[in-house]
Structure 1
Amino acid sequence: MKTNPLTTGSRGSVLWLTAALLICYAFLLVAGCSAPVQEGVKTNDTIKVRYTASFQDGMIFDTNVNSTPLEFTVGRGQVISGFDEAVIGMTPGTTKIVTIPPEKGYGLYNKSLVFRVNQAEVNEFLQDQESMGNLLGFQYPGIGSGYRWINSDGSTGYMRFSNATDTMVTVDLNNPLAGQDMVFEITLVEIVHPGT
């Protein structure tokens, strides 16, 4: 009668033990490989991002890399539409670089928003806005400076000046970033609240 070496004596015990350990190890490997996959950003998620915004030529005009991350809810119109679209699918810790065209940024440049007006009228308007605490100055590298304010409907108004004389000035009411292709480097810091 032949004996089975796997079941006979101490050598058989060692082989059975080794086989059992290998099977357990294989199960552990398979279980460890099925770690949960982290979902990417979806519409209605509240997220925090760091970003650097530049023009096509590389000139940076805005960044929050060394300050507080920007927190917003995706798809709610709290940021430009191209930025909203860019973060979809990102997972925490990832970085992406996107070019956002004017149509998904601050719109096309509108020449009908450029006027030649009386300097006194502009001064009166600016004084009214300032007296309401509603006037802020801005400065964009490569674009220049001007003023912005919040309109009664919640929208933001902009005003830049050029060709000033003693009595007249050219006023540009376009957003200073209108007509610009913008490059954003975006890093997703965290998904604060997943959307529903």
Structure 2
Amino acid sequence: MKRRTKIVVLGSALLLTAGVASAATASETPRQRTTASDAPRQATAADSPRQREAAALTGTAELYRSAGDDITFSFDAHLAAEDKADPSKATGTFEFSHYLNGEGARAEVKVDCLLTGGKVAVVSGVVTDSDLPGAEGKRVGVTVHDLGRHDRLGYSWASTGSPAETKELPKCVSSAPFEKVAKGTGDFTVLPWQPAL
């Protein structure tokens, strides 16, 4: 057989084979053709774009004091996207401690309000656990200015006296961030609130 004839016969055989395969596939029901990878999958939470939370304050830092006071603040406060219009629905906790020469106190606080704007956050909450007599059940507020390695902080008891002595402090009330964090310790992060105005 001449070479040209062989090519034509071979090409015809390939076309015939492809036609039979197509016909067989067409005769299958959709159920027979569907594979696990072809099957439509159910939409999951991971498929929808993640909604940004409305506001947040996180991080830990020590405050600078020339006398060597050991003062630490830690925050994990959040306002969910669905609560954007109500900062008093914020959740989370924060902690603080202040010791000098082995004396001082610490407190754990349940967040009840979070307001942020730009790089400034004001968070308040009720003390749930403390070794400072009379502090449990009292509301305290803290202000943080997120300035990278030079964060600043203020707290409500700067003007009201000891947290144990504070009476009826409103939610999200604190002082200006007048304290400086100790060098190398500031990692506060503020997520700005963007209310619909």
TM-score (norm 1): 0.33
TM-score (norm 2): 0.33
Larger Rg: 2
The higher-RCO structure (CA 8 Å, 6+ apart) is 1
